[in-house]
Structure formats: structure tokens, C-alpha cells
Amino acid sequence: MKQAIVGAGPSGYVTVDFFTGDYRISAQISVRNRTVNDILNDKRVSYIEVFDAYISRISQPGYIVGSHHVALLRKDSISFAVVPMEESRPSGQRAYRYGGKWLYQVFCTLPAFEVQGKVRTTGKLDLYAFLVTNVDDFVILTEPLARVANFPDNTFSGESFLVNRLLISMFCANEQPELAE
Amino acid sequence: MPTVLIIDDDHSVLKLLDFAMSNAGFQVVLAGDGMSGLEKAQASPPDLAIVDVMMPDLDGYEVCRRLRADPRTANIAIIVLTARAQAVDRETALKAGADDYLVKPVMPEDLIRMAQEVLARPRAAGPVVEHPQGRFVTVFSLRGGIGVTSLAVNLAVAFAHLRKKEVALLDLNFLSGHVALMLNLKAHLTLANLLEPGGKADEQALDRCLVRHSSGVRVLAAPPQPMMPAPDSARGVEHIVPLLKGNFPYIVTDTAPSLDAVTRAALTACDVLIVVVAAEVQALHTAIASLPVLKTLGHADEDLWLVLNQNTPQPSLPEQMVSKALQRPVRAQIPYEPALPQAIQRGVPLILDKPRSPMAIAIARLAYQIDRHFES
């Protein structure tokens, strides 16, 4: 079997781009048998331990201003995280909550960012349920694109985003969903 | 046997790359951090360096910069291999001097293919020679909607990458210019402001109007609303050409599908005129009709480049027929790329969005051909 060159340290580590209002932090997190979604939505822990963190300012996201072997991130300050698709979904018994065949195009504003993407639902998207009564703090956006409000040329994309709904100041959705493949 | 220096602080990656590259016939040298990688490269310059970005002390971008700055290592091929996967990371890597960029996780065969491809690219014998005067390349077709703007935008990005310098891109389409849109740029000052009657189109004014794109392209955008050019606009274009030539190694111009005075000024002033033709009957007919007019502009035959753009999945005319009908060789063919509309929609040049796509490779090759043409 061919093995992909992953380069994220020992197995069980995933490289994630975290975005706060001012910084981009590219770091590795230990997921073991869980996913990044599980870790960010684990309400028992308010921080996340990361390894090999490389920090860039949002105004110059390609320029690395510092690196540290180990760091702690406060979950409530993370605007969104760029993660591989398989890491964006919850694992185990929580997995059933993320099905659905409808995709709604959504747009939201976060501190320093404008984010667009798609939300998958089983039925009609209930904005209130999604944004206010949702159990999970970090919600999944697929086909995402984030734009820095003050530097609109700086955009970020990825397979999926985990967006901190508690930091969303405005959340909009298209009325007509599309059928997911 | 080509030598490859692999610089990565992750020992598991070093082991895997050592195994994969050795099996592919490379002589492998390993370095566990940026500083020791630089020392090894300077002691015995390899043919290729594969450099990780996220390394403590000296990150991969700085390694690339130092390799390029040192005459002993300035011409080695460099591939950046990193888990940072944003478009800005690719741009940063290319600006730092990398030849190409791969995102982890990567399959070994993809890396080997890229290594072979990068090594096959012609390399300068010494440090990059700067043009004392910039080269003016105009992209034109009298038939609209066949990919002229898309080619001009991607060609400008390719020149910026090739020369590792800023390149100017002019949108001379007063009625429907889309260069800024394709680069997702907002221009507060445009060509119309620069050329307005009574205005002073000097270097400072020009600099204010040129919008910087992260790829290294400086854009002089067309006005956002359709408008007729001011009466002296053609003279204004003739006036700014030498200013641009003095500041940029390349000036690429996107033109309107017309023969108005502004377009004619760009067609006349250019050093290479790229005539775009699509593999369809109407475009061919238009090209046949316009070539005699273009020949009257005084360009030598070798400065008039015919480029066949396959803008549909199944072209209706083969290249030989196009070449025969126009009685001149097709200098480059740009293959069809299904991802192009999405790239345009997102305002990212295809050459950055899908650099490995056949279309991006063909445009990069065209930029290289033109560069060699000027050098010779």
C-alpha cells in the first residue's frame, strides 16, 4: 500500500489553521481517536493544546512572525479553524447529527472576517436553532471562503471550516437550498 | 544521477522522502533543520532542494531566500513542501524563490513527478538577468469571449513568477474590462482617471493607479462603468508605455475586441503581439480578417504570436486547420480547463489556483517562450 507523506509528526496529529481576530496559527493538534470537531466542541475543556505552532498576522498571513513548540489556544477566541473534511465531522455517537441532503449557501460575519460557505441540513434551515440553541459551539461550513474585512485581498479557503457560532455577529442564508450530491 | 537535498524537521517525513526519492533514482542528502540544510547546500549544491516551511529557528521561506541570495545555490531547483495550504502560502513560497509548491499530505509519485518536472525546466546559467527596458506584450483578439483577458491575467502572473519581479498588467478595455474582477481587486483609481483630460500621467500618478496583487502583478484597471475613452487617451497610452517599461520587466496588456484608437496604440507599441484564436469557425474567420490589418502595424513576423485557446471541451477545429487557414504557425496551444470558471468566480488566477492543470502549465510555458524570445 502506498503511503502519503503527511508530515504532521507522529500519527494521531493533524495540522490545523486556526484564525483569531488578529492572527493565523498553523499548528498540530493531537486527535487520537477523535476528530477536530470533537475536540473543539468538547465543553469540558475551554482551551486546546497545540504543538509546533507557527504564527502569522492576518494582515500578512504568509509571513511567519514566530513559532513555538507548544501552546494553548482559548477556544472562545478562535473565530474559525480550517480542517480537512474528515476532521470537520464529529465521531462516535455525535456523528448522526450531521447528515442531511440539503445544502444552504450561508454568509456570516465574525471578528475581522467575512465567511461564506454551505451548511448541510436534513430539512429547512432554522437560523435560530442553528445559531442560538445549537448544542455545538463550532459549526461546519463546507466549500468555505473567508475574507479579511480590513484586507479584502487576503482570503482563506479549505475543505471545511469549523466556525465559532458564539462569535458570529450576523448569519445569513439563501432561502433556496440545493440538493447535496 | 540528480542530487536532492531534503530539509524537514520531521524525521518521519525525512525517512519517507529518503525512501521515495532514492527509489526514484535520486541521490538523497538529508537535513533536519533549515540552518544545516543551508550549510549542506552551500558545501555541495544539489540539483534540487525540497524544503519544509514550518521549521523552528529558520522557516522554509527564509531558507529559500538565502538559497537564492547565495551565488553558489542561486540556481538550484526548489520545491516547497508544507502543510500550510492557503493560496497566500503558495504565493509567499514563490516570492521567496521556490520553483514550485506542494501541500502535504502528498503521494510520493506526485512529488517525484514534480521533482522531475522542475528539474526539466530550463534554468538560467547565472543569476537572473534584469531587462534594462521592460517588454511590452499585448494580448488581442477581435472576437470577444474567447479567453483574451484570462490569458492576459495568467500570463502576467506567470511573468511575475518567472522574473521574480513585479509585472504591470494594463486593462485597456474601456467598455468591459474584467482584469480587476479576475484578480479580485478593487481599484479606486483606474485607467480613466489616469488618462482624464488635463490630468498629469506621470510616474507618481501611474504608481497611485497601479493596484498591487499578491502575485506580484500591478494592475492598471479599466473603469468600472462602461465609458468612451477621452479623445487623447491613445496618446496617453503611448505616453505611459515608456514609464512602465522603465519600471517593470514585463508589461502585459489586455485589449478590447475592437480597433479603436486606444487598442491600436497598444497594438502598435507592443514588442510582442499575441493574437488569440479559438478553435471555432467564427473566431477563425475573425482572425483571418484581422491579420492583414495587424500586419500593417509594422511588427516583424516573429513578434506576432498566434495562440490557439481551446475554450470549449471539444474544439471544432484542429490546430493544423487553424494554422493552415491563417498561414502561420500556432506558437502555443492553451488547453481547455473546466476549473477556469470557478477560478474566475473566486477571483484567483488559474495559474495560482490550479498550477498543475494543463492550462496553467501551457501558459507558464508560453511566458517562458516569450522570455527566451526576448533574450535571443
Nearest CA-CA distance, residue B26 and chain A, Å: 17
Segment holding B374, helix H or strand E: helix B358-375
Interchain CB contact of A72 with B (< 8 Å): no
Interchain CB contact of A150 with B (< 8 Å): no
User: What mean pLDDT do residues B196-204 have?
Assistant: 74
Task: Give the whole-angstrom CA distance, residue B363 versus residue B152.
Answer: 10
Tell which CATH architecture fits domain B135-375: 3-Layer(aba) Sandwich (3.40)
| Closest of B140, B107, B176, B116 to residue B270, by C-alpha | B140
SS3 B122: coil
User: What mean pLDDT do residues B5-13 have?
Assistant: 90
Give A99-106 contacts, CB < 8 A, sequence gap 24+.
Answer: A100/A180, A101/A179, A101/A180, A102/A177, A102/A178, A102/A179, A102/A180, A103/A142, A103/A177, A103/A178, A103/A179, A103/A180, A104/A173, A104/A174, A104/A177, A105/A173, A105/A174, A105/A178, A106/A141, A106/A171, A106/A172, A106/A173, A106/A174
The beta-carbon neighbor of A5 closest among B87, B91, B106 is B106
Interchain CB contact of B58 with A (< 8 Å): no
Interchain CB contact of A1 with B (< 8 Å): no
User: What mean pLDDT do residues B302-316 have?
Assistant: 86
- Cell numbers found for residue B219: 494592475
* CB < 8 Å from B in window 9-48 of A: 9-10, 15, 17, 26
Task: Give the whole-angstrom CA distance, residue A96 versus residue B327.
Answer: 65
Contact A5 B16 (CB under 8 A): yes
pLDDT confidence bin for B131, thresholds 50/70/90: very low
Contact B86 A157 (CB under 8 A): yes
The beta-carbon neighbor of B105 closest among A5, A9, A63 is A5
Mutate to test the interface with B, among A1, A5, A23, A145 (most CBs of B within 10 A): A5
The beta-carbon neighbor of B88 closest among A5, A145, A154 is A154
pLDDT attached to residue A162: 96
Cis before B45? omega within 30: no
Domain ranges of chain B: 3-120, 135-375
Contacts of A63 in chain B (CB under 8 A): 61, 92
- Cell numbers found for residue B338: 473546466
Cβ-Cβ pairs closer than 8 A, A with B, add up to 93
Contact A158 B213 (CB under 8 A): no
Sheet hosting strand B217-220, strand order edge to edge: B210-212, B217-220, B167-171, B250-254, B135-140, B272-278, B304-309, B330-334
List pLDDT tens digits, range B230-278. Answer: 777 888 888 888 888 888 999 999 999 988 888 988 998 899 999 999 9
CB B191 within 8 A of CB B170: yes
Nearest CA-CA distance, residue A129 and chain B, Å: 30
Task: Give the whole-angstrom CA distance, residue B264 versus residue B285.
Answer: 20
pLDDT confidence bin for A93, thresholds 50/70/90: low
- Select A85-179's CATH number: 1.10.287.130, 3.40.50.2300, 2.30.30.100, 3.10.20.30: 2.30.30.100
Contacts of A82 in chain B (CB under 8 A): 85-86
Q: Which CATH class is domain B3-120?
A: alpha beta
The percent of residues in chain A predicted with pLDDT above 90, rounded, is: 59
Domain ranges of chain A: 13-81, 85-179
The percent of residues in chain B predicted with pLDDT above 90, rounded, is: 30
| Least confident piece of the model among A79-88, B127-136, B226-235 | B127-136
Task: Give the whole-angstrom CA distance, residue B221 versus residue A43.
Answer: 50
Same fold: A13-81 with A85-179: yes
C-alpha distances in Å from residue B324, one per residue of B179, B261, B274, B284, B336: 32, 30, 18, 11, 21
pLDDT attached to residue A4: 54
SS3 B95: helix
Task: Give the whole-angstrom CA distance, residue A153 versus residue B352.
Answer: 14
CB A108 within 8 A of CB A170: yes
| CATH 3.10.450, domain A13-81, yes or no | no
pLDDT attached to residue B129: 43
Give chain B's mean pLDDT: 87
- Is ipTM beyond 0.95? no
Contact B111 A5 (CB under 8 A): yes
Segment holding B203, helix H or strand E: helix B203-209
Task: Give the whole-angstrom CA distance, residue B31 versus residue B317.
Answer: 52
Choice between B90 and A96, residue whose per-residue pLDDT is larger:
B90
Q: What is the DSSP letter of B92?
A: H
